Amino acid sequence: MEPLLKVKNLTMNFGGLRALDRLDLDVYAAEIVALIGPNGAGKTTFFNCITGIYPPTEGDMVISPPGKKRERLNGLKPNHVTERGLARTFQNIRLFLNMTVLENVMIGRHCRMSAGIAGAIFRGPDTVKEEKAVVRDSYMILEKIGITDFVNELAMNLPYGAQRRLEIARAMATEPFMLLLDEPAAGMNPQETKELDDLIIWIRDNEKIAILLIEHDMKLVMSLSDRIYVVDYGKKIAEGTPEEIKNNPAVIKAYLGEEIDA
């Protein structure tokens, strides 16, 4: 079976600094894949390359969306990547703070709508129908994510946990076939993390969206993931199931260092 996302040989140089070094990574349908590694290993850079923010120095990134033909991501602008069905959240929350929660999600629907200037000014029947649908669909997403209490609240007034969830809701509004979550559990307490765990699994199973996530919370990673990739200094140092990774000496070395013989 074709992977939804196939990354081969991805290399990213910033001047003299090699942030990604011939990285290979695949994500298959109905999978939750985790990308872990020490800080500075290149994980967010990886996301930025896939989503078109940086053009990679070398390598191929190919997607095979369900029901559509294969396509190369290299050279696509970020908004085109999202149109193709890859949506992301950010390590440092990047919400539209002066817009309401509902409007944030409605922005996610932008690329699936078609109203233009004429539609905006004349509000013909098509546009009116579309606007109604957008409001309804956005609300439904908020229901699924569980933050309808805040629907008319400005995003900047939300508690931290709700803001993280809103980012996920917004990304889901773009109708992706795959979600890229960058440290979704950062700063969450154990209760919130447990809820996030359930939410992500629910997204995979009910919404049929594959998930690629960057995380530092090992408990969450081990409990959620179907497969894990470990990177350090931009290189893949291990790949496998949670069980395999837990016992992999290279991984242990990268995180904890080598044992010093006393």
Partner 1 sequence: MEYFLELFLGGLTRGSIYALIALGYTMVYGIIELINFAHGEIYMIGAFTALIVASVLTMLGWNHIAILLIASIVAVIYSSAYGYTVEKLAYKPLRQAPRLSALISAIGMSLFLQNYVLLAQTSDFLPFPSLIPDFKFWEPYSHIISSSELVILITTAIVMILLTFLIKFTKIGKAMRATAQDRNMAMLVGVDVDRVISVTFLVGSATAALGGVLIASHIGQINFYIGFIAGIKAFVAAVLGGIGSIPGAVLGSLVLGWTESFFTGYVSSDYEDVFAFLFLVFILIFRPAGILGRSETEKV
Partner 2 sequence: MITFQEIKRSFLVSVWFMFLTFPIMVIRVNTVQNVIEWRWKNLLFVGIGSFILSFVWRYLIQRKEAGKKKAEAGEIDKMPLSQRIFEERKIFVPGLITLSVFALVFPFIFSLYQTNIMITGLIYVMLGLGLNIVVGLAGLLDLGYVAFYAVGAYSYALLNHHFGIGFWAALPIGAGMGALFGIILGFPVLRLRGDYLAIVTLGFGEIIRLILENWNEFSFGPSGIANIARPSFFGIQFSVQNATIYLYYIMIVLILFTIFVVNRLQNSRIGRAWIALREDEVACQAMGIDKRKTKLTAFALGATWAGMAGVIFAAKTTFINPASFTIWESIIILCIVVLGGMGSILGVILGALILILLPEYLRAFSEYRMLIFGVMLVATMVFCPGGIVPDIRRTYKFEGLQNNTKNNP
Binding residues for partner 2 (CB under 8 A): 51, 53, 77-79, 82-83, 87-88, 90, 94-100, 102-103, 106-108, 110-113, 115-117, 119-121, 123, 127, 130-132, 134-136, 139-140, 148, 151-154, 157, 159, 170-171, 174
Q: Give which of partner 1, partner 2, none residue 136 binds (C-beta under 5 to 8 Å, depending on kind).
A: partner 2
The residue among 111 and 218 lying less far from partner 2, judged by its C-beta, is: 111
Residue with smaller CB distance to partner 1, 73 or 134: 73
To the nearest 10 degrees (0 to 180), the angle between helices 101-108 and 160-172 is 30
Q: Are strands 178-182 and 210-214 parallel, antiparallel or unpaired?
A: parallel
Map residue 130 onto helix, strand or coil.
helix
Q: Which residue has the tokens 């803001």?
A: 163
DSSP state, residue 3? -
Q: Does 160 bind partner 1 (CB under 8 A)?
A: no
Considering only CA atoms, which of 134, 150, 146 is closest in space to residue 101? 150
Distance of alpha carbon 205 from its chain centroid, rounded? Answer: 16
Residue 90, interface with partner 1 (CB under 8 A)?
yes
Amino acid 13 reads N
> Which amino acid does the sequence have at 226?
D
Q: Which of 19, 32, 44, 134 binds partner 1 (CB under 8 A)?
A: 44
- Interaction of residue 96 with partner 1, rule CB under 8 A: no
**Interacting residues of 175 by C-beta distance below 8 A, sequence separation 6+:** 85, 112
Decide whether 154 or 222 has the Cβ nearer to partner 2. Answer: 154
Minimal distance, residue 47 CB to partner 1, in Å? 8
Q: Which residues bind partner 1 (CB under 8 A)?
A: 14, 44, 48, 53, 90
